[in-house]
Structure 1
Amino acid sequence: MKWGMPWPGAELAQRCEQAGAQAFCAGEFADASAYVTATEMAQGTERAVTGPGIAYAFARSPFIHAAAVRHLNKIAPGRIFLGLGAGTGRMNRDWFGVDSSHPAPRMAELVGCIRAFLQAENDQKITFAGDYYSIDTHIRAPVMGPIEVPILLGAFNVHMLRTAGRVADGVLGHGLFTDRWWSEVVDPQLRAGADRAGRDAGGLLRWGWVITAIDDEDPARAVEDARRQIAFYLTVKTYDSLVALHGWQDEVAAIRAEFAGGDPRKIGSHVTEDMLWSMAVCGDTAQATEMLAGRKNLPDLGFLAPPGFLVSPRRRKHYGNSTVESFHQIGVSQ
């Protein structure tokens, strides 16, 4: 597995590149824009691929996505990717104030529109007519010309995975993705989408986040933080099909009950060893190495993501430093 990280800042990123990091990505939330962070990444790196991973797809128009990608490609030519995620229906409706109905076909059209802007020859009219997006424009200046930027989808369910296989360049998997989820759900659905479009599924990118907390000085705390992060993710019902695949319904019910009416700091206590070893790389370097070796279907490029739930920025930075120190030797063995 090749590796990268969510953006750790320019100083640590330099060490990451020296240790073999291939890519950096930028998520977003109420206090962080994926495209602003992607600009920092493009300016603060020399070789690594960088990009939003993910940007909220429907919160911006195709034009805005494409303009941001073109701008990033000026800063780091040939080193930009675009990761798009639908977000939840509630977020789109209540936070962004946009329509996100029929997310899979809407996403397919969005990808097509963005590509129309990115692949347009200079002085070429740009058109797209669909059910959700309609573009009819002739941008006479500035000089544009086509650029090649991989577009990946943050896909979880069957329909979005098939959409990724059909229209995108690959998938950017969630940190909860287990070996079984990759092999029994993700890969087959990517192939199904690619087959439908007459594409070669073998050329699709299989990238994903990997929950990573390594600390040789306090491995127990690293394990606890990883457990809490897994539990926090599993409070979201979107992932119930993954839970059902593994038979973790009782554990997740306990997590959600604790989160709703108990002590959120204790939600990780309901994460079993099986769950932990299926979804995280954590503890000291020796255990992290063992956990990584036990995974048989990791993403081809994994973004080693420190836990964020009830973890301070200082602690996240510490995990980032520990990951760089230990993962070079781990990564070489994979």
Structure 2
Amino acid sequence: MTTRGITVLAGSLAETVDITTAAEAAGFDAAWSGEFLNRSAVVSVAAMAAATRHIGVGTAIAYAVGRSPLVLANDARFLDELSEGRLTLGLGTGTRGMMVGWHGVKDPDGPASRLEELIPLLRRLWRLHEEPVVHEGRFYSCNITPTADIEPPLRPEIPIFTAGVNPRMIEVAGRVADGLVCHPTLTDRYLADVARPAVDRGARKTGRDPGAVKLKGVIITSIHDDPAQARREAAAQIAFYVAPKAYGPVMEASGFGEEAATIQTAFRAKDHDAMVAAVSDRMLDEMAAAGPLDEVRQRVAALEKRYDHAALYSPSFTMSAERVRENTMNIIEAFSR
């Protein structure tokens, strides 16, 4: 059975906590927070964990770049302690432009290899109480000998999920992670033709069971009595994600290359209306659940079958903060248990 969560990627820290406590009261299995130019996943999840007692909490995603391995390991260690073992650490690198422009990464090549080096290193750092950690790799260097007794972490194995869109990044989950954070624009076709085979390839290369790698999906969800408004909100979020050129091949593999090209042209022209208009009905229905309440419930039930865990997520691109909050609370109420 697919477990269900809520994803928060917009709003203040206080709103994030309010949404998480509401989701816990409604019986959701997990609440997730990502980060962006103006948002910290680590601080958000700390606040979410402190305000709740039962619901799982996770970063989806925290940037794996811009933090040293030791800082990231300790962030996760204490988030897991604060949540009493409820943390899932979701990691990603962002785009090449984000790595360079936002995080000051001097060598943005090989983001998949970077994660494959980082994740085993994090697991070693969680066992620093057992032995020193000496590591010299392509991306990271550590030479850490404890100078005092170090207590073991609450859990020696914190679940780690990695985000991936292109096949090589998806392979990372198969090689070294516990799960894959699937992109909101994933389709049945892309899952069958690209994502699952990539997870399988990665797992085989490191002698792991592909079936042990969990799939976490993010379902764009918009509930409104006016179907046109709900669909426009969801289409705007899809267009936002598809706008970078890097997503052209992904959309082509899903059968939406023509729509993606039109969206990207409109994005370069800063024409938001044209971006939204370029999202076809078929594309929207493959990637989102949007419309009146009953229709959304049916669509979510169909889409979440793809995943081991499905996190519902309000669109926010071109929407007011008030409408994002309203929609998020409507989602929680609609899917309460």
Q: TM-score range by the shorter chain?
A: over 0.9
Aligned position for 1:298: 306
Please state whether the residue corresponding to 1:67 is helix, strand or coil.
helix
Aligned position for 1:211: 220
* Distance change in 2, residues 1:263/1:247 (3 Å): same
Aligned position for 2:173: 164
* Partner Cα separation in structure 2 for residue 259 and residue 136 of structure 1: 46
8 A Cα contact 1:119 1:148, kept in partner: no
* Partner Cα separation in structure 2 for residue 311 and residue 55 of structure 1: 24
8 A Cα contact 2:203 2:209, kept in partner: yes
Aligned position for 2:328: 320
Amino acid at match of 2:198: Q
Amino acid at match of 2:66: A
Aligned position for 1:111: 119
Pick aligned residue for 2:66 from 52, 59, 77: 59
* Partner Cα separation in structure 2 for residue 79 and residue 294 of structure 1: 27
Aligned position for 2:3: 2
Deviation of 1:49 after TM superposition, in Å, equals: 1.4
Pick aligned residue for 1:198 from 196, 201, 207: 207
Amino acid at match of 2:316: G
8 A Cα contact 1:183 1:297, kept in partner: no
Amino acid at match of 1:281: A
Amino acid at match of 2:185: L
Deviations, residues 1-42 of structure 1 (Å, cap 9, x unaligned): 321112362333223123221111111111111111111111
Give the stretch that moved more between structures: 40-49 or 14-23: 14-23
Aligned position for 2:266: 258
* Partner Cα separation in structure 2 for residue 317 and residue 138 of structure 1: 47
* Partner Cα separation in structure 1 for residue 333 and residue 50 of structure 2: 23
* Distance change in 2, residues 1:262/1:168 (3 Å): closer
Amino acid at match of 1:11: D
| Identity between Structure 1 and Structure 2 (%) | 34
* Partner Cα separation in structure 2 for residue 112 and residue 255 of structure 1: 39
* Equivalent residues in 2 for 1:46-195, closer than 5 Å: 46-98=53-105, 99-120=107-128, 122=129, 124-141=131-148, 143-146=150-153, 147-195=156-204
* Distance change in 2, residues 1:303/1:312 (3 Å): same
* Partner Cα separation in structure 2 for residue 5 and residue 178 of structure 1: 20
Q: Does 1:39 align with 2:40?
A: no
Deviations, residues 198-255 of structure 1 (Å, cap 9, x unaligned): 1111111211211111123x33212110011111111112222221123322222222
* Distance change in 2, residues 1:325/1:160 (3 Å): same
Amino acid at match of 1:212: T
Please state whether the residue corresponding to 2:147 is helix, strand or coil.
coil
* Partner Cα separation in structure 1 for residue 127 and residue 189 of structure 2: 36
Aligned position for 2:12: none
Amino acid at match of 1:27: G
Deviation of 1:128 after TM superposition, in Å, equals: 2.2
Deviation of 1:123 after TM superposition, in Å, equals: 5.4
* Distance change in 2, residues 1:39/1:96 (3 Å): same
* Partner Cα separation in structure 2 for residue 76 and residue 62 of structure 1: 21
* Partner Cα separation in structure 1 for residue 208 and residue 130 of structure 2: 30
Query: Could you list the runs of 5+ residues in structure 2 that have no partner in the other structure?
Result: 9-14
* Partner Cα separation in structure 2 for residue 203 and residue 242 of structure 1: 25
* Partner Cα separation in structure 1 for residue 200 and residue 79 of structure 2: 30
8 A Cα contact 2:249 2:257, kept in partner: no
Q: Spell out structure 1 runs of 4+ moving beyond 4 A.
A: none
Amino acid at match of 1:3: R
Pick aligned residue for 2:257 from 239, 242, 249: 249
8 A Cα contact 1:307 1:316, kept in partner: yes
Deviations, residues 116-155 of structure 1 (Å, cap 9, x unaligned): 11133x2521222322212221123462315221111111
The count of aligned residue pairs is 327
* Partner Cα separation in structure 2 for residue 186 and residue 297 of structure 1: 15
Deviation of 1:296 after TM superposition, in Å, equals: 7.3
* Partner Cα separation in structure 1 for residue 319 and residue 267 of structure 2: 16
8 A Cα contact 2:166 2:250, kept in partner: no
Amino acid at match of 1:5: I
